[in-house]
Structure 1
Amino acid sequence: MARNRNRSRRPLGQLEAEVLAALAGLGGSARTAELVERLDGEPAYTTVNTILHRLHEKGLVTRTRAGRHYHYRLAVDESALVADRMHEHLRHASDPVSVLNRFVRTLTTEEARHLRAMLEGPEGRE
């Protein structure tokens, strides 16, 4: 029985997001054991396996059998996922301008420089 792939539009849990970020940091492809080592707090192998199974069901990762285990690969663009999560949070905020203001004030100098360049667009880079 095929599962509904539209479920990937639901907001991701924190550990799901961390696993996706770790997978991206490992070049978009890894085994469960590699991800466990990469995650803060070293969650249990079975916990990470459960998260990977959920991400697979949501269509966010693909997997191929590698002996007794699976090798996982990102099936989506991590930056698009994170941007979608940020947008979703803003959409539900009672005062999105205040949220943006607080977010921008927490940026590093380098991050702020990149944001300014993006907001200025091609004409601001002359």
Structure 2
Amino acid sequence: MPRRPLGQLEAEVLAALAGAGGSASTAELVDRLDGAPAYTTVNTILHRLHEKRLVSRARVGRHYRYRLAVDESELVADRMRDHLRHASDPGTVLNRFARSLSVEEARKLREFLDRLGAGG
């Protein structure tokens, strides 16, 4: 069964979990997220991410600690490809994306593209 595209809050929770550098509780993730989402909302998102097998969890006392079960870079790249597939003009989207990159991000992208062009 193919995965549904991630919602914005799901993506933010995954990014916060990746930024935690290991496992984190719901309360710890609430503190890391912008906009002060409700504990119950974040807990529901984590439950859904667990059902999708994007996070794993281990019970510690009465609560769970969560950790990524997938590679964050693969998830983000999948979302970017999905957005490009749905764009009426992917070239313009890529142009705007490239123009929004910092100097360092552009340098890294250029290195990756050069390696791809060289067969690497």
TM-score class, shorter-chain normalisation, is over 0.9
1:19 to 2, 13, 18: 13
- Superposed CA offset, 1:48-85 (max 9, x none): 00000000011100111111100101100000000000
Determine the C-alpha separation between the residues in 1 that align with 2:14 and 2:107: 26
Q: Which residue of 1 aligns with 2:77?
A: 83
Q: Which residue of 1 aligns with 2:32?
A: 38
Determine the C-alpha separation between the residues in 2 that align with 1:25 and 1:49: 18
Tell whether 2:42 aligns with 1:48: yes
- What does residue range 73-112 of structure 1 map to in structure 2 within 5 Å? 73-112=67-106
Superposition deviation, residue 42 in structure 1:
1.5
Determine the C-alpha separation between the residues in 1 that align with 2:15 and 2:78: 14
SS in 2 for 1:121: helix
5+ long unaligned stretches in structure 2:
none
Determine the C-alpha separation between the residues in 1 that align with 2:99 and 2:68: 31
- Distance change in 2, residues 1:28/1:107 (3 Å): same
Determine the C-alpha separation between the residues in 1 that align with 2:50 and 2:22: 14
Identity of aligned residues (%): 76
Tell whether 2:112 aligns with 1:115: no
Misfit runs of 4+, over 4 Å: none
Give the total of aligned pairs.
118
Taking only aligned residues, the RMSD between alpha carbons, in angstroms, comes to 1.5
TM-score normalized by the length of structure 2: 0.94
Determine the C-alpha separation between the residues in 2 that align with 1:63 and 1:79: 20
Q: Which residue of 2 aligns with 1:61?
A: 55
5+ long unaligned stretches in structure 1:
1-5
TM-score normalized by the length of structure 1: 0.89
